[in-house]
Amino acid sequence: MAKRPLTIPDSELDVLKVLWDRGQATVREVLETLRAAGRQWSYATVATLLDRLETKGVVTSDRSELAFVYRPAITTQEVRQKRVNNLVEKLYQGETGLLVLHLLKSHPLDARQAKEVQSVLEEMTGDASRKKGNDSSPSA
């Protein structure tokens, strides 16, 4: 049977973000951090979410002490990549360019980010030489 793709719902992502920020945490420490951020979850809810994340292989736990200590087993970049891939497949039928166009049109970039995007596009299309004034077309 084919392995199902990893899915991390927003609630699990909230818990994972705490672990990324802290490096490691107990259920109580995660709960306190989330409550400070406005989440009104119970201890049992956080414990359940951590258990789900561990079952998925996204976090590991040290169960040698009374309070289990959880650590992330996946990086933020890995999760971003999986979620963006899922978004492209589900909303843009695999057309990455459509997502990029949507983002560029609906979410303004600061000047530094715009230059970085422009540079990436120039590399992809081979236009870097024209930008630098090295256009070798004959002059009239």
Stretch 112-140: mean pLDDT, rounded? 74
Tell which phi-psi region holds residue 42, choosing left (phi > 0), alpha (psi between -120 and 50) or beta.
beta
* Tens of pLDDT, residues 97-121: 999 999 999 999 999 999 999 999 9
Picking from 24, 3, 105, 17, the residue whose alpha carbon sits closest to that of residue 67 is 24
Q: In which residue are the tokens 């490691």 written?
A: 24
Tokens found for residue 85? 């891939």
DSSP state of 138: P
pTM over 0.75: no
* Tens of pLDDT, residues 61-71: 999 988 999 99
Q: How sure is the predictor about 6, in pLDDT bands with cuts at 50, 70 and 90?
A: confident
Would you state the pLDDT for residue 127? 72
Residue type, 136: S
